A and B are shown apart, each in its own frame.
Chain A
């Protein structure tokens, strides 16, 4: 099937979805909803040993917006994450060995690039992001206000409780990144984010690997893409352990700071333009 045909087919499907979502009680204004429905959208779920929570995450994404396709990137799991995800109806790609969260997200975005998706939302496989809030992330993109939208735990009324040391680290990075990108950024470590086609192309070609969330903000700024934050409410995790707790040491903070400054001066390949 040619790319052209696939595109037309997907538009037909999207139109059908628009009608469906119009009949079912739409939680938000209809205008935004139909504009979202016209876009091909995919949820990128990086997962490492998440067999207990992955099926729930996939089901919740589908429940929040049936038009979403889901790609689970199994980053070298030792358990049945990939099988469970495939059984739950997601597309699955498996790394032959662990590449880290940055590599996993990039693989998912490469999938989104290769299959012509317009919007990609990153949702962690450990169920700490609430898929019901995905539409909040999409709003600035469909309104053409942003290329990357980050769900921030520190905007709005939602109170995010974290150990003092981690809070200090997060605030410090937020201040540092805000300074670099000349824009107020409140949450630099949030993995709940959405990108449009431009963002997909950029990150598929070049995505930071060591400390992806923090560095991605700077990368986006360097490529003159627009970054916006929206308030979200993270859930406390039901399974697994935070990767931040041990990372948020003084060592981690020094490394990220160094990576940020090096990243500022690093040469970056420009993303390939759409043919």
Chain B
């Protein structure tokens, strides 16, 4: 089995640290809510651990039968990106559902106000 080239480990670690930094900055400036940041943080931390801890990456790729350890790094991050995408699909579904309910309530309320406004002078 090919060991992970040191340059790959360094580059991947720097990328993971940069990612974590950006995530923290987004949370700090309130542009990213914590509830949506958790998965991102997990992704960044796992990438950083696997990139910096060469022994763990080697062990993991050996266990899974991945002959080239840097591919394992790619695979792990790819998996987390998939989980993130799925998570956002559920978020979008929930938002569009809430959006529809809001539109319906608004339509019914507006209709009621219009009818009451129209009927009030007539009753007098």
The reply to whether chain A is a binding partner of chain B is: yes
Judged by a CB distance under 8 angstroms, whether B108 is at the interface is yes
Asked whether B103 is an interface residue with its Cβ less than 8 Å from the other chain, the reply is: yes
CB pair B100–A209 under 8 Å, yes or no, is yes
**A107 and B115 form a contact (CB under 8 A):** no
**Of A91, A96, A114, which contacts B103 at CB under 8 A?**
A96
Quote the shortest CB–CB distance from B99 to chain A (angstroms).
9
A106 to B104, CA, bound (A): 8
The DSSP consensus for interface residues of chain A is mixed
Any A CB within 8 A of the CB of B110: yes
Q: Which of B104, B114, B115 contacts A95 (CB 8 A)?
A: B104
Question: What 0/1 pattern do residues 239 to 262 of A give for CB contact below 8 A with B?
Answer: 000000000000000000000000
Asked whether any CB of chain A lies closer than 8 Å to the CB of B65, the reply is no
CB atoms of A73 and B100 under 8 A apart: no
Report whether A94 and B111 are in contact in the complex, using a CB–CB cutoff of 8 Å: yes
Q: Mark B110-123, 1 if CB is under 8 A from A, else 0.
A: 11001100000000
Contact of A95 with B107 at beta-carbon distance under 8 Å, contacts A103-B100, A209-B100 already known: yes
Interface string of A94-135 (1 = CB under 8 A from B): 111101000100110011001000000000000000000000
Cβ of B106 within 8 Å of any chain A Cβ, yes or no, is yes
Contacting pair B108 A114 (CB below 8 A): yes
Q: Which residues of B contact A107 (CB under 8 A)?
A: 104, 107-108
Q: A111 touching B108 by the CB < 8 A rule? A: yes
- Bound CA–CA A114/B108 (angstroms): 10
Is A93 an interface residue, CB under 8 A from the partner?
A: yes
Contacts A103-B100, A209-B100 hold; do A96 and B107 have CB atoms under 8 A apart?
yes
Q: Could you name 29 residue pairs across A and B whose Cβ atoms are closer than 8 Å?
A: A73-B107, A91-B111, A91-B115, A92-B111, A92-B114, A93-B107, A93-B108, A93-B110, A93-B111, A94-B107, A94-B110, A95-B103, A95-B104, A96-B103, A96-B106, A96-B107, A97-B103, A99-B100, A99-B103, A103-B100, A103-B103, A103-B104, A106-B104, A107-B104, A107-B107, A107-B108, A110-B104, A111-B108, A111-B111
- Apart from A91-B111, A91-B115, A110-B108, what 9 extra A-B contacts exist at CB < 8 Å? A92-B114, A95-B104, A96-B107, A97-B103, A99-B100, A99-B104, A106-B104, A107-B107, A111-B108
Chain A interfacial positions (CB closer than 8 Å to B): 73, 91-97, 99, 103, 106-107, 110-111, 114, 209
Of all A-B residue pairs in the complex, the 4 with the closest CB atoms, nearest first, are A93-B111, A93-B107, A107-B104, A95-B107
